[in-house]
Amino acid sequence: MMSEDYSQARKCRLCHSNAVAEIFNFGDSPLANAFRDTIVTRDQEFTAPLAYFKCESCHSVQLKYEVSGEILFKDYMYETPPNLTPHFKELAATITDLVGEGKSILDIGSNNGLLLKEFQKLGHFNVCGIEPAENIADKAIADGVPTHKGFFGSSMAAIYKEVSPMADVVTCTNCFAHLDNIEDFVLGVSSVLKKDGVFVFENAYLLDTLKNKDFGQAYFEHKHMFAVSPLVSFLGNFGLELFKVEHVDVQMGSIRGYVKKSSNKQIKEDGSVGKFLIEEIKAGLLGVKVYLDFMDEIEAVRTALVAILKDHHHNGRTIAVYGWPAKMTLLASYFEITEYIDMVVEESDAKIGKFAPGTNAEIKSLEYFKENPTDVCIIGAYNYEKDIMEKNDWYRGEWINPLK
């Protein structure tokens, strides 16, 4: 991939400091969700350097090299999986308890509308989604979820306000970290939010990512790896206040943040934000050592997994990968294990028959896997390890969680 296809961020996206230092470097990587219809050589595949820096001023962790959203989200393959339905049902109920029924809900990065469907089931909500991936937005619309197509920011917010009521609640689940221009996004949120409205976001939590060695959170869609500390000051710059933070058990550990306009004195901060800030200081997130230790741990995982796969390959055992989410692309590329993969198995109809990013392995259906089971199976969607193993209790080969 030519250098003009990506750009280097040279200052912090949150505080604009030039004092940034690289902490993670995973080499050249394919786009995580760039599933292909044809076999290609390595030189023909779209790749870019995947690295992250830490801001020495506000201590946020951010992507160093940016690939444009138009490239990333064109014909996007990721759809919110059905197994998140219970989580979204709980989120919708929690928000309803907070603001009451009959409210206006705007979901940004709404994907296939799974969260908004839960509000629709509760009834009497005016719901709307905004989704940049046109192919995914079309599916949501076909399922009865009103959805605007495009990237959200101040311009989209102005268009939204012309055709829709001001929002009582703005939600953004697992895409707050996707933002190139996070300032324009927050300006847009503030402009569509009522004076007493609430912005609720969920995202993978940096501290959990480090603790769980979940380096698969690193891919080009993820411009940020969020902790609470940098967000407090950043949101404050826009007249917004993070008044509550909860830990939620999705994506191997996430945070759910509740944000209000600073002028809203009716909602009080509940003390949770301060507790997170103290925990982050204790964990060393303001320093550098914790990040260097993380990379050392990943190298140890890499060495162990490659040794296991080499042994299986040497002894003629066949190896499959079950599930190819975004994080599996980096794992296969950075660990250089594609030569050992004989089969990729997916439950997503949209991926079956295509070739996984960074490989020339054609993706097979679960039915095919049942008829042609391999000796060994890597759990690519390792954050759903328990669900996958329970669903496939018929399998008699060896399961491998690549992080264990």
Mean pLDDT calculated for residue range 325-329? 94
Architecture in CATH for domain 290-400: 3-Layer(aba) Sandwich (3.40)
pLDDT value at position 42?
80
pLDDT in tens, 132-165: 989 999 999 999 999 999 999 999 999 999 988 8
Nearest to 168 by CA among 99, 119, 118, 114: 99
Report pLDDT for 4. 62
DSSP 187-222: HHHHHHEEEEEEEEEEEE-HHHHHHTT-GGG-STT-
In the predicted model, is pLDDT for residue 180 greater than 90?
no
Q: Is 1's pLDDT higher than 60?
A: no
Q: Is 311 exposed, middle or buried (0-12, 13-18, 19+ CB in 10 A)?
A: exposed
Strand residues in 271-355 grouped as ranges (E)? 319-322, 343-345
Q: Is the pLDDT of residue 301 over 80?
A: yes
What is the rounded average pLDDT of the residues 105-114?
A: 97
Residues 301-305, mean pLDDT to the nearest whole number: 97
pLDDT at 27: 95
What residue segments make up the domains of the chain, in order of their start?
3-65, 82-283, 290-400
The Cα–Cα gap between 129 and 110 comes to 5
- How many CA atoms within 13 Å lie on the side-chain side of 374? 25
Using a cut of 0.85, tell me whether the model's pTM lies above it: yes
Fold match, 82-283 / 290-400: yes
Give the pLDDT score at 355. 95
Adjacent-strand bridge partners of 254: 204, 248
Confidence of residue 203 (pLDDT cuts 50, 70, 90): very high
Percent of the chain whose pLDDT exceeds 90: 89
Across the chain, what does the average pLDDT equal?
A: 94
Which tokens hold the place of 393? 């209790």
The CATH number of domain 82-283, selected from 3.40.640.10, 3.40.190.80, 3.40.50.150, 3.20.20.70: 3.40.50.150
Question: pLDDT tens-digit profile of 214-271?
Answer: 999 999 999 999 999 999 999 999 999 999 999 999 989 999 999 999 999 999 999 9
Q: What is the pLDDT of residue 3?
A: 52
Question: Could you tell me what percentage of the chain is helix, strand and coil, using 3-state DSSP and rounding each to the nearest 5?
Answer: 40, 25, 35
